[in-house]
Structure 1
Amino acid sequence: MSLIELIAGVEAREATLTVFDPRADTADTLAGHFADRNVRVVDGSADEGPEGYAVLSRDGEFVTAVAVEDLLPGYDGGTTDGDSEPDISGDPGPSRVGEPVLDHLDETMFTSYSRADMVAASREIEDRAWRVGTGELHAGFQTLEVLTGEANTYDRLGEKDDLDVHAYATAEGDSPDADHYTVHIGRTAEIRETWFVAYDGGGYDDAKCALLAEERAPGEFYGFWSYDPETVDTIIEYLRERYQSSEATDGDDGATA
Protein backbone atom coordinates (compact mmCIF):
# COMPACT_ATOMS: atom_id res chain seq x y z
CA MET A 1 0.00 0.00 0.00
CA SER A 2 1.53 3.31 -1.12
CA LEU A 3 1.59 6.52 0.91
CA ILE A 4 -1.21 7.98 -1.24
CA GLU A 5 -3.26 4.82 -0.72
CA LEU A 6 -2.74 5.07 3.05
CA ILE A 7 -4.24 8.57 3.01
CA ALA A 8 -7.18 7.37 0.93
CA GLY A 9 -7.67 4.43 3.29
CA VAL A 10 -7.89 6.66 6.35
CA GLU A 11 -10.25 8.99 4.51
CA ALA A 12 -12.50 6.04 3.71
CA ARG A 13 -12.66 5.02 7.38
CA GLU A 14 -14.67 8.09 8.30
CA ALA A 15 -16.71 7.62 11.46
CA THR A 16 -20.25 8.92 11.97
CA LEU A 17 -21.50 10.68 15.07
CA THR A 18 -25.30 10.60 15.13
CA VAL A 19 -26.78 13.18 17.49
CA PHE A 20 -30.16 12.55 19.13
CA ASP A 21 -31.00 15.88 20.72
CA PRO A 22 -33.99 18.24 20.95
CA ARG A 23 -31.81 21.23 20.06
CA ALA A 24 -31.94 21.88 16.34
CA ASP A 25 -28.38 23.18 16.17
CA THR A 26 -26.48 20.76 18.41
CA ALA A 27 -25.28 18.62 15.50
CA ASP A 28 -23.99 21.71 13.68
CA THR A 29 -22.17 22.87 16.80
CA LEU A 30 -20.51 19.48 17.24
CA ALA A 31 -19.66 19.34 13.54
CA GLY A 32 -17.74 22.58 13.98
CA HIS A 33 -15.75 21.16 16.88
CA PHE A 34 -14.98 17.95 14.96
CA ALA A 35 -14.14 19.71 11.69
CA ASP A 36 -10.53 18.49 11.78
CA ARG A 37 -11.45 14.95 12.76
CA ASN A 38 -12.27 12.06 10.49
CA VAL A 39 -15.89 12.04 11.60
CA ARG A 40 -19.18 13.11 10.01
CA VAL A 41 -21.80 14.56 12.37
CA VAL A 42 -25.48 14.03 11.52
CA ASP A 43 -28.86 14.54 13.19
CA GLY A 44 -30.69 11.44 14.35
CA SER A 45 -34.25 10.83 15.42
CA ALA A 46 -35.95 8.18 17.51
CA ASP A 47 -39.67 7.54 17.92
CA GLU A 48 -39.22 6.96 21.63
CA GLY A 49 -36.54 6.71 24.28
CA PRO A 50 -34.03 9.18 25.73
CA GLU A 51 -32.75 12.31 24.05
CA GLY A 52 -29.58 14.34 24.47
CA TYR A 53 -27.07 11.69 23.46
CA ALA A 54 -24.86 10.80 20.51
CA VAL A 55 -23.76 7.49 18.98
CA LEU A 56 -20.38 7.01 17.31
CA SER A 57 -20.25 4.33 14.60
CA ARG A 58 -17.85 3.23 11.89
CA ASP A 59 -18.80 1.16 8.84
CA GLY A 60 -22.29 0.81 10.32
CA GLU A 61 -21.00 -0.75 13.54
CA PHE A 62 -21.51 0.71 16.99
CA VAL A 63 -18.39 2.16 18.65
CA THR A 64 -19.62 4.13 21.65
CA ALA A 65 -22.48 6.28 22.96
CA VAL A 66 -22.20 9.40 25.10
CA ALA A 67 -24.46 12.08 26.56
CA VAL A 68 -24.41 15.40 24.70
CA GLU A 69 -23.75 17.21 27.97
CA ASP A 70 -20.51 15.22 28.24
CA LEU A 71 -19.52 16.23 24.71
CA LEU A 72 -20.31 19.93 25.22
CA PRO A 73 -19.28 21.13 28.69
CA GLY A 74 -21.84 23.61 30.00
CA TYR A 75 -24.63 22.27 27.78
CA ASP A 76 -27.90 22.78 29.67
CA GLY A 77 -29.97 20.06 28.00
CA GLY A 78 -32.96 22.26 27.21
CA THR A 79 -34.75 22.81 23.93
CA THR A 80 -34.52 25.92 21.81
CA ASP A 81 -36.27 27.39 18.80
CA GLY A 82 -33.31 26.43 16.62
CA ASP A 83 -31.90 29.95 16.38
CA SER A 84 -29.52 29.97 19.35
CA GLU A 85 -26.35 28.12 20.15
CA PRO A 86 -26.17 25.51 22.94
CA ASP A 87 -25.18 27.13 26.23
CA ILE A 88 -21.46 26.45 26.61
CA SER A 89 -20.28 28.42 29.64
CA GLY A 90 -16.74 29.71 29.81
CA ASP A 91 -14.03 28.61 27.43
CA PRO A 92 -13.56 24.85 27.83
CA GLY A 93 -10.83 24.70 25.17
CA PRO A 94 -10.58 22.29 22.23
CA SER A 95 -9.17 19.46 24.32
CA ARG A 96 -12.40 19.26 26.39
CA VAL A 97 -15.11 19.55 23.77
CA GLY A 98 -15.86 16.10 22.42
CA GLU A 99 -13.35 14.45 24.74
CA PRO A 100 -15.43 11.26 25.39
CA VAL A 101 -15.20 10.23 21.72
CA LEU A 102 -11.69 11.44 20.85
CA ASP A 103 -10.04 8.28 22.15
CA HIS A 104 -12.08 6.31 19.62
CA LEU A 105 -10.76 8.34 16.67
CA ASP A 106 -7.28 6.98 15.89
CA GLU A 107 -6.61 9.43 13.07
CA THR A 108 -7.18 13.17 12.75
CA MET A 109 -7.90 14.29 9.21
CA PHE A 110 -7.08 17.80 8.04
CA THR A 111 -7.57 19.77 4.84
CA SER A 112 -5.87 22.77 3.25
CA TYR A 113 -2.88 22.83 5.59
CA SER A 114 -0.31 25.34 4.40
CA ARG A 115 3.43 24.69 4.42
CA ALA A 116 3.63 26.68 7.65
CA ASP A 117 0.96 24.42 9.18
CA MET A 118 2.86 21.33 8.06
CA VAL A 119 6.12 22.59 9.59
CA ALA A 120 4.36 23.32 12.89
CA ALA A 121 2.75 19.87 12.92
CA SER A 122 6.05 18.20 12.06
CA ARG A 123 7.73 19.93 15.00
CA GLU A 124 5.42 18.12 17.41
CA ILE A 125 6.65 14.73 16.23
CA GLU A 126 10.28 15.80 15.97
CA ASP A 127 10.10 17.09 19.54
CA ARG A 128 8.69 13.79 20.76
CA ALA A 129 11.51 11.88 19.07
CA TRP A 130 14.04 14.28 20.62
CA ARG A 131 12.61 13.86 24.12
CA VAL A 132 12.43 10.05 23.97
CA GLY A 133 15.84 9.98 22.30
CA THR A 134 15.71 6.42 20.94
CA GLY A 135 14.19 4.59 17.97
CA GLU A 136 13.69 5.73 14.38
CA LEU A 137 12.46 8.99 12.90
CA HIS A 138 11.48 9.08 9.21
CA ALA A 139 10.66 12.34 7.43
CA GLY A 140 9.79 13.19 3.83
CA PHE A 141 10.60 16.66 2.52
CA GLN A 142 9.43 16.35 -1.11
CA THR A 143 12.66 17.87 -2.51
CA LEU A 144 16.31 18.24 -1.52
CA GLU A 145 15.79 21.99 -1.64
CA VAL A 146 13.22 21.77 1.17
CA LEU A 147 15.39 19.33 3.11
CA THR A 148 18.32 21.75 2.95
CA GLY A 149 16.25 24.30 4.84
CA GLU A 150 15.76 21.76 7.64
CA ALA A 151 19.30 20.37 7.58
CA ASN A 152 20.37 21.89 10.90
CA THR A 153 17.29 20.57 12.71
CA TYR A 154 17.79 17.05 11.41
CA ASP A 155 21.52 17.07 12.00
CA ARG A 156 20.80 17.96 15.62
CA LEU A 157 18.20 15.20 15.90
CA GLY A 158 20.66 12.73 14.41
CA GLU A 159 23.25 13.60 17.04
CA LYS A 160 21.21 11.57 19.51
CA ASP A 161 23.24 8.36 19.74
CA ASP A 162 20.22 6.07 19.96
CA LEU A 163 17.97 7.90 17.47
CA ASP A 164 18.23 6.70 13.85
CA VAL A 165 17.09 9.52 11.55
CA HIS A 166 16.11 9.09 7.88
CA ALA A 167 15.17 11.85 5.43
CA TYR A 168 13.51 11.32 2.03
CA ALA A 169 13.42 13.68 -0.96
CA THR A 170 13.47 13.84 -4.73
CA ALA A 171 16.58 15.08 -6.51
CA GLU A 172 15.53 18.71 -6.86
CA GLY A 173 18.22 20.96 -5.42
CA ASP A 174 21.57 20.18 -3.83
CA SER A 175 21.88 17.49 -1.20
CA PRO A 176 22.79 18.96 2.21
CA ASP A 177 25.68 17.78 4.30
CA ALA A 178 24.11 15.04 6.41
CA ASP A 179 26.65 14.08 9.03
CA HIS A 180 24.24 12.53 11.52
CA TYR A 181 21.28 11.30 9.47
CA THR A 182 20.66 9.33 6.29
CA VAL A 183 19.27 10.87 3.10
CA HIS A 184 17.24 8.70 0.72
CA ILE A 185 16.59 10.15 -2.73
CA GLY A 186 13.42 8.54 -4.03
CA ARG A 187 12.65 8.96 -7.71
CA THR A 188 8.91 8.44 -7.33
CA ALA A 189 5.90 10.72 -7.62
CA GLU A 190 4.75 9.94 -4.08
CA ILE A 191 7.97 11.28 -2.54
CA ARG A 192 7.50 14.50 -4.52
CA GLU A 193 3.81 14.79 -3.65
CA THR A 194 3.74 13.79 0.03
CA TRP A 195 5.00 15.25 3.28
CA PHE A 196 5.44 12.87 6.20
CA VAL A 197 7.05 12.52 9.60
CA ALA A 198 6.82 9.20 11.45
CA TYR A 199 8.36 8.21 14.77
CA ASP A 200 8.44 4.58 15.89
CA GLY A 201 8.26 5.43 19.59
CA GLY A 202 11.65 4.07 20.55
CA GLY A 203 10.09 0.91 21.92
CA TYR A 204 7.04 2.59 23.46
CA ASP A 205 3.70 2.19 21.68
CA ASP A 206 2.33 5.25 23.46
CA ALA A 207 5.08 7.39 21.90
CA LYS A 208 4.39 6.32 18.31
CA CYS A 209 3.01 9.04 16.07
CA ALA A 210 2.91 10.00 12.42
CA LEU A 211 1.88 12.79 10.09
CA LEU A 212 1.17 11.99 6.45
CA ALA A 213 -0.22 14.39 3.84
CA GLU A 214 -0.57 14.78 0.09
CA GLU A 215 -0.11 18.11 -1.67
CA ARG A 216 -3.33 18.22 -3.67
CA ALA A 217 -2.96 21.86 -4.73
CA PRO A 218 0.13 24.07 -4.70
CA GLY A 219 0.97 24.71 -1.05
CA GLU A 220 -2.16 22.95 0.25
CA PHE A 221 -1.92 19.59 2.03
CA TYR A 222 -4.57 17.00 2.83
CA GLY A 223 -3.82 14.16 5.20
CA PHE A 224 -3.92 12.90 8.76
CA TRP A 225 -2.26 12.67 12.14
CA SER A 226 -2.15 9.25 13.78
CA TYR A 227 -1.24 7.96 17.22
CA ASP A 228 -2.37 4.45 16.34
CA PRO A 229 0.66 2.11 16.69
CA GLU A 230 -0.46 -0.13 13.82
CA THR A 231 -0.83 2.81 11.42
CA VAL A 232 2.57 4.22 12.40
CA ASP A 233 4.20 0.81 11.97
CA THR A 234 2.61 0.44 8.53
CA ILE A 235 4.04 3.77 7.34
CA ILE A 236 7.55 3.04 8.61
CA GLU A 237 7.62 -0.54 7.31
CA TYR A 238 6.55 0.71 3.87
CA LEU A 239 9.32 3.32 3.82
CA ARG A 240 11.92 0.73 4.81
CA GLU A 241 10.85 -1.76 2.16
CA ARG A 242 10.32 0.77 -0.64
CA TYR A 243 13.17 3.21 -0.22
CA GLN A 244 15.88 1.70 1.96
CA SER A 245 16.70 -1.35 -0.13
CA SER A 246 18.87 0.75 -2.42
CA GLU A 247 21.90 2.93 -1.77
CA ALA A 248 21.01 5.65 0.70
CA THR A 249 23.08 8.18 -1.22
CA ASP A 250 20.87 8.09 -4.32
CA GLY A 251 17.78 6.11 -3.29
CA ASP A 252 17.10 5.13 -6.93
CA ASP A 253 14.86 2.08 -6.64
CA GLY A 254 14.19 2.06 -10.37
CA ALA A 255 10.80 3.74 -10.11
CA THR A 256 10.21 6.94 -12.02
CA ALA A 257 6.49 7.48 -11.63
Structure 2
Amino acid sequence: MSLIEIISGVEAREATLTVFDPDPSVAESLAEHFADRNLRVVAEDPTEGPTGYAVLARDGEFVTATAIDDLLPDRADDGDDTAGAVADAEGAAGEGEAAAPRRVGQPILDHLDETLFTSYSRADMVAASREIEDRAWRVGDGELHAGFQTLDVLSGESNTYDRLGEKERLDVHAYAAAEGDAPNTEQYEVHIGRTAEIRETWFVAYDGGGFDGAKCVLLAEEREPGRFYGFWSYDPDTVDRVIDYLTDRYWESEHPGEGDATV
Protein backbone atom coordinates (compact mmCIF):
# COMPACT_ATOMS: atom_id res chain seq x y z
CA MET A 1 0.00 0.00 0.00
CA SER A 2 1.07 3.61 -0.59
CA LEU A 3 -0.46 7.06 -0.25
CA ILE A 4 -1.05 7.11 -4.01
CA GLU A 5 -2.86 3.77 -3.78
CA ILE A 6 -5.05 5.10 -0.97
CA ILE A 7 -6.11 7.98 -3.24
CA SER A 8 -6.82 5.52 -6.06
CA GLY A 9 -8.82 3.33 -3.68
CA VAL A 10 -11.05 6.23 -2.66
CA GLU A 11 -11.56 7.18 -6.31
CA ALA A 12 -12.60 3.58 -7.03
CA ARG A 13 -15.23 3.55 -4.25
CA GLU A 14 -17.57 5.62 -6.34
CA ALA A 15 -21.23 5.58 -5.33
CA THR A 16 -24.07 5.71 -7.87
CA LEU A 17 -27.17 7.88 -7.69
CA THR A 18 -29.87 6.59 -10.05
CA VAL A 19 -32.49 9.22 -10.84
CA PHE A 20 -36.02 8.13 -11.74
CA ASP A 21 -37.63 11.20 -13.24
CA PRO A 22 -39.10 11.97 -16.69
CA ASP A 23 -37.29 15.31 -16.80
CA PRO A 24 -33.68 14.72 -17.99
CA SER A 25 -32.59 18.08 -16.58
CA VAL A 26 -33.07 16.71 -13.05
CA ALA A 27 -30.19 14.24 -13.41
CA GLU A 28 -28.08 16.95 -15.06
CA SER A 29 -28.70 19.35 -12.17
CA LEU A 30 -27.82 16.71 -9.60
CA ALA A 31 -24.66 15.70 -11.48
CA GLU A 32 -23.55 19.33 -11.50
CA HIS A 33 -24.32 19.78 -7.81
CA PHE A 34 -22.44 16.62 -6.77
CA ALA A 35 -19.50 17.23 -9.12
CA ASP A 36 -17.02 17.39 -6.22
CA ARG A 37 -18.32 14.21 -4.60
CA ASN A 38 -17.28 10.64 -5.24
CA LEU A 39 -20.60 10.04 -6.94
CA ARG A 40 -21.81 9.10 -10.41
CA VAL A 41 -25.30 10.31 -11.35
CA VAL A 42 -27.25 8.31 -13.93
CA ALA A 43 -30.73 8.86 -15.33
CA GLU A 44 -33.11 5.91 -15.55
CA ASP A 45 -36.03 6.16 -17.96
CA PRO A 46 -39.11 5.52 -15.80
CA THR A 47 -41.26 3.81 -18.42
CA GLU A 48 -43.49 2.40 -15.70
CA GLY A 49 -43.81 2.61 -11.95
CA PRO A 50 -43.29 5.59 -9.63
CA THR A 51 -41.16 8.58 -10.56
CA GLY A 52 -39.72 11.61 -8.80
CA TYR A 53 -37.16 9.80 -6.65
CA ALA A 54 -33.51 8.73 -6.62
CA VAL A 55 -31.67 5.69 -5.25
CA LEU A 56 -28.14 5.77 -3.85
CA ALA A 57 -26.06 2.59 -4.10
CA ARG A 58 -22.45 1.67 -3.39
CA ASP A 59 -20.75 -1.49 -4.66
CA GLY A 60 -24.10 -2.59 -6.03
CA GLU A 61 -25.80 -2.43 -2.63
CA PHE A 62 -28.70 -0.17 -1.68
CA VAL A 63 -27.79 2.72 0.64
CA THR A 64 -30.80 5.03 0.67
CA ALA A 65 -33.63 6.46 -1.44
CA THR A 66 -35.11 9.93 -1.40
CA ALA A 67 -37.60 12.12 -3.22
CA ILE A 68 -36.25 14.44 -5.91
CA ASP A 69 -38.01 17.34 -4.18
CA ASP A 70 -35.90 16.67 -1.08
CA LEU A 71 -32.73 16.76 -3.17
CA LEU A 72 -33.70 19.90 -5.09
CA PRO A 73 -35.77 22.09 -2.73
CA ASP A 74 -36.06 24.85 -5.35
CA ARG A 75 -37.92 22.43 -7.58
CA ALA A 76 -40.56 21.86 -4.91
CA ASP A 77 -40.76 25.58 -4.16
CA ASP A 78 -41.50 26.26 -7.81
CA GLY A 79 -44.80 24.46 -7.46
CA ASP A 80 -44.00 20.89 -8.50
CA ASP A 81 -46.65 18.75 -6.79
CA THR A 82 -44.86 15.45 -7.41
CA ALA A 83 -43.63 14.23 -4.04
CA GLY A 84 -42.60 10.80 -5.34
CA ALA A 85 -42.95 7.38 -3.84
CA VAL A 86 -40.31 7.98 -1.16
CA ALA A 87 -41.93 11.16 0.14
CA ASP A 88 -45.29 9.38 0.39
CA ALA A 89 -43.72 6.67 2.51
CA GLU A 90 -42.11 9.14 4.89
CA GLY A 91 -45.36 10.96 5.68
CA ALA A 92 -46.01 14.61 6.39
CA ALA A 93 -44.45 16.53 9.26
CA GLY A 94 -46.63 17.73 12.12
CA GLU A 95 -48.37 21.03 11.58
CA GLY A 96 -46.78 22.58 14.66
CA GLU A 97 -43.21 21.84 13.57
CA ALA A 98 -41.10 24.65 12.19
CA ALA A 99 -39.70 23.96 8.74
CA ALA A 100 -35.90 23.80 8.84
CA PRO A 101 -33.95 25.24 5.90
CA ARG A 102 -33.21 22.50 3.41
CA ARG A 103 -29.76 22.17 1.88
CA VAL A 104 -29.60 21.00 -1.72
CA GLY A 105 -28.77 17.30 -1.78
CA GLN A 106 -28.82 16.90 2.00
CA PRO A 107 -30.41 13.39 2.08
CA ILE A 108 -27.54 12.13 -0.10
CA LEU A 109 -24.76 14.19 1.48
CA ASP A 110 -25.53 12.50 4.80
CA HIS A 111 -24.26 9.24 3.26
CA LEU A 112 -21.18 10.62 1.47
CA ASP A 113 -18.18 10.83 3.79
CA GLU A 114 -15.62 11.58 1.10
CA THR A 115 -15.18 14.52 -1.25
CA LEU A 116 -12.97 14.31 -4.33
CA PHE A 117 -11.31 17.39 -5.79
CA THR A 118 -9.27 18.12 -8.88
CA SER A 119 -6.81 20.86 -9.70
CA TYR A 120 -6.51 22.41 -6.24
CA SER A 121 -3.84 25.10 -6.02
CA ARG A 122 -1.37 25.38 -3.15
CA ALA A 123 -3.56 28.13 -1.68
CA ASP A 124 -6.55 25.75 -1.83
CA MET A 125 -4.54 23.05 -0.09
CA VAL A 126 -3.46 25.42 2.68
CA ALA A 127 -7.07 26.52 3.22
CA ALA A 128 -8.30 22.91 3.39
CA SER A 129 -5.45 22.01 5.75
CA ARG A 130 -6.43 24.83 8.10
CA GLU A 131 -9.86 23.28 8.65
CA ILE A 132 -8.34 20.04 9.93
CA GLU A 133 -5.68 21.84 11.96
CA ASP A 134 -8.38 23.97 13.57
CA ARG A 135 -10.37 20.87 14.50
CA ALA A 136 -7.29 19.31 16.13
CA TRP A 137 -6.64 22.57 18.01
CA ARG A 138 -10.21 22.78 19.31
CA VAL A 139 -10.34 19.14 20.45
CA GLY A 140 -6.81 19.46 21.84
CA ASP A 141 -6.16 15.73 22.11
CA GLY A 142 -4.92 12.85 19.97
CA GLU A 143 -2.54 12.87 17.00
CA LEU A 144 -2.18 15.24 14.05
CA HIS A 145 -0.13 14.10 11.04
CA ALA A 146 0.84 16.49 8.26
CA GLY A 147 2.97 16.21 5.14
CA PHE A 148 3.96 19.30 3.16
CA GLN A 149 6.21 17.65 0.56
CA THR A 150 9.55 19.31 1.40
CA LEU A 151 11.32 20.82 4.38
CA ASP A 152 11.19 24.20 2.64
CA VAL A 153 7.38 24.11 2.61
CA LEU A 154 7.22 22.74 6.15
CA SER A 155 9.44 25.57 7.41
CA GLY A 156 6.89 28.04 6.08
CA GLU A 157 4.27 26.38 8.30
CA SER A 158 6.52 26.21 11.36
CA ASN A 159 4.73 28.90 13.38
CA THR A 160 1.37 27.18 12.90
CA TYR A 161 2.75 23.81 13.91
CA ASP A 162 4.70 25.17 16.86
CA ARG A 163 1.41 26.53 18.15
CA LEU A 164 -0.38 23.22 17.57
CA GLY A 165 2.45 21.35 19.26
CA GLU A 166 2.03 23.45 22.40
CA LYS A 167 -1.22 21.61 23.11
CA GLU A 168 -0.26 19.29 25.95
CA ARG A 169 -2.36 16.31 24.86
CA LEU A 170 -1.96 16.78 21.09
CA ASP A 171 0.93 14.90 19.47
CA VAL A 172 1.97 16.52 16.20
CA HIS A 173 3.96 14.74 13.48
CA ALA A 174 5.24 16.39 10.30
CA TYR A 175 6.59 14.59 7.24
CA ALA A 176 8.82 15.99 4.50
CA ALA A 177 11.42 15.18 1.89
CA ALA A 178 14.95 16.43 2.58
CA GLU A 179 14.84 19.53 0.41
CA GLY A 180 15.70 22.67 2.34
CA ASP A 181 16.41 23.27 6.00
CA ALA A 182 14.43 21.55 8.72
CA PRO A 183 12.58 23.82 11.17
CA ASN A 184 14.31 24.19 14.52
CA THR A 185 11.56 23.05 16.87
CA GLU A 186 10.84 20.89 19.86
CA GLN A 187 7.07 21.31 19.64
CA TYR A 188 6.48 18.58 17.06
CA GLU A 189 8.21 15.56 15.54
CA VAL A 190 9.67 15.81 12.04
CA HIS A 191 9.93 12.62 9.95
CA ILE A 192 12.06 12.89 6.82
CA GLY A 193 10.88 10.43 4.18
CA ARG A 194 13.09 8.67 1.66
CA THR A 195 10.27 7.93 -0.79
CA ALA A 196 9.03 9.85 -3.80
CA GLU A 197 5.46 9.82 -2.46
CA ILE A 198 6.41 12.19 0.37
CA ARG A 199 7.63 14.67 -2.23
CA GLU A 200 4.56 14.18 -4.42
CA THR A 201 1.74 14.24 -1.85
CA TRP A 202 0.23 16.70 0.61
CA PHE A 203 -1.74 15.44 3.57
CA VAL A 204 -3.19 16.39 6.94
CA ALA A 205 -4.82 13.70 9.09
CA TYR A 206 -6.34 13.99 12.55
CA ASP A 207 -7.22 10.90 14.60
CA GLY A 208 -10.06 12.62 16.46
CA GLY A 209 -8.55 12.37 19.93
CA GLY A 210 -10.60 9.28 20.71
CA PHE A 211 -13.78 10.47 18.95
CA ASP A 212 -14.66 8.90 15.60
CA GLY A 213 -16.86 11.89 14.80
CA ALA A 214 -13.84 14.21 14.95
CA LYS A 215 -11.63 12.18 12.60
CA CYS A 216 -10.77 13.76 9.26
CA VAL A 217 -8.11 13.56 6.57
CA LEU A 218 -6.97 15.51 3.52
CA LEU A 219 -4.78 13.64 1.03
CA ALA A 220 -3.75 14.78 -2.44
CA GLU A 221 -1.17 14.06 -5.12
CA GLU A 222 0.57 16.79 -7.11
CA ARG A 223 -0.09 15.41 -10.60
CA GLU A 224 0.81 18.66 -12.34
CA PRO A 225 3.11 21.43 -11.09
CA GLY A 226 1.18 23.31 -8.43
CA ARG A 227 -2.07 21.36 -9.04
CA PHE A 228 -3.33 18.76 -6.56
CA TYR A 229 -5.78 15.90 -7.02
CA GLY A 230 -7.19 13.96 -4.10
CA PHE A 231 -9.87 13.87 -1.42
CA TRP A 232 -10.85 14.82 2.07
CA SER A 233 -12.79 12.40 4.23
CA TYR A 234 -14.59 12.13 7.54
CA ASP A 235 -14.83 8.35 7.29
CA PRO A 236 -13.10 6.88 10.39
CA ASP A 237 -11.82 3.82 8.51
CA THR A 238 -10.21 5.99 5.82
CA VAL A 239 -8.59 8.23 8.43
CA ASP A 240 -7.26 5.22 10.34
CA ARG A 241 -5.90 3.70 7.13
CA VAL A 242 -3.88 6.82 6.32
CA ILE A 243 -2.51 7.28 9.84
CA ASP A 244 -1.66 3.59 10.26
CA TYR A 245 0.24 3.66 6.98
CA LEU A 246 2.19 6.78 7.95
CA THR A 247 3.19 5.45 11.35
CA ASP A 248 4.18 2.02 10.00
CA ARG A 249 6.10 3.42 7.05
CA TYR A 250 7.74 6.59 8.32
CA TRP A 251 8.15 6.61 12.08
CA GLU A 252 11.47 4.85 11.65
CA SER A 253 12.60 7.50 9.16
CA GLU A 254 15.65 9.58 9.88
CA HIS A 255 15.26 12.83 11.76
CA PRO A 256 16.59 16.26 10.76
CA GLY A 257 20.36 16.38 10.61
CA GLU A 258 20.82 12.67 9.88
CA GLY A 259 21.57 13.12 6.19
CA ASP A 260 18.38 11.72 4.69
CA ALA A 261 17.45 12.15 1.03
CA THR A 262 14.42 11.46 -1.10
CA VAL A 263 14.73 8.63 -3.61
Instruction: Give 1:163's match in structure 2, choosing from 166, 170, 178.
Output: 170
> Which residue of structure 2 lines up, in the alignment, with residue 237 of structure 1?
244
Pairwise CA RMSD of aligned residues? 2.0
Instruction: Give 2:226's match in structure 1, choosing from 214, 219, 223.
Output: 219
> Which residue of structure 1 lines up, in the alignment, with residue 87 of structure 2?
none
Contact 2:192-2:254 within 8 A present in 1 as well:
no
> Which residue of structure 1 lines up, in the alignment, with residue 42 of structure 2?
42
In structure 1, distance between residues paired with 2:257 and 2:36: 37
In structure 2, distance between residues paired with 1:116 and 1:178: 24
5 Å-filtered alignment, 1:1-257, equals: 1-76=1-76, 77=80, 96-249=103-256, 257=263
TM-score (structure 1 length as normaliser): 0.89
Q: Deviations over 1:118-156 (max 9, x none)?
A: 000000000000000010000000000100110000000
In structure 2, distance between residues paired with 1:163 and 1:251: 26
Secondary structure of 2:145's counterpart equals: strand
- Give the aligned length: 243
Return the offset for 1:47.
2.6
Return the offset for 1:179.
2.1
Contact 1:138-1:198 within 8 A present in 2 as well:
yes
In structure 2, distance between residues paired with 1:4 and 1:191: 10
Structure 1 segments (4+ residues) deviating >4 Å = 250-253
Contact 1:244-1:251 within 8 A present in 2 as well:
no
Contact 2:150-2:178 within 8 A present in 1 as well:
yes
Return the offset for 1:21.
1.0
Amino acid of the structure 1 residue aligned with 2:17: L
**Structure 1 portions without partners, runs of 5+:** 80-91
Q: 1:142 to 1:169 in 2, by over 3 A?
A: same
In structure 1, distance between residues paired with 2:6 and 2:206: 16
Return the offset for 1:167.
0.4
Return the offset for 1:59.
2.0
Secondary structure of 1:30's counterpart equals: helix
Between 178-187 and 69-78, the greater mean CA deviation after superposition: 69-78
Secondary structure of 2:55's counterpart equals: strand
In structure 2, distance between residues paired with 1:55 and 1:167: 41
Return the offset for 1:18.
1.0
TM-score (structure 2 length as normaliser): 0.88
Contact 1:15-1:38 within 8 A present in 2 as well:
yes
User: Percentage identity across aligned positions?
Assistant: 74
Return the offset for 1:252.
8.1
Amino acid of the structure 2 residue aligned with 1:198: A
In structure 2, distance between residues paired with 1:202 and 1:152: 22
Return the offset for 1:78.
6.7
Secondary structure of 1:74's counterpart equals: helix
Amino acid of the structure 2 residue aligned with 1:206: G
**Structure 2 portions without partners, runs of 5+:** 83-99
Amino acid of the structure 1 residue aligned with 2:64: T
Secondary structure of 1:75's counterpart equals: helix
Contact 1:187-1:251 within 8 A present in 2 as well:
no
- Write 1 or 2 for the structure with the bigger share of helix: 2
Amino acid of the structure 2 residue aligned with 1:123: R
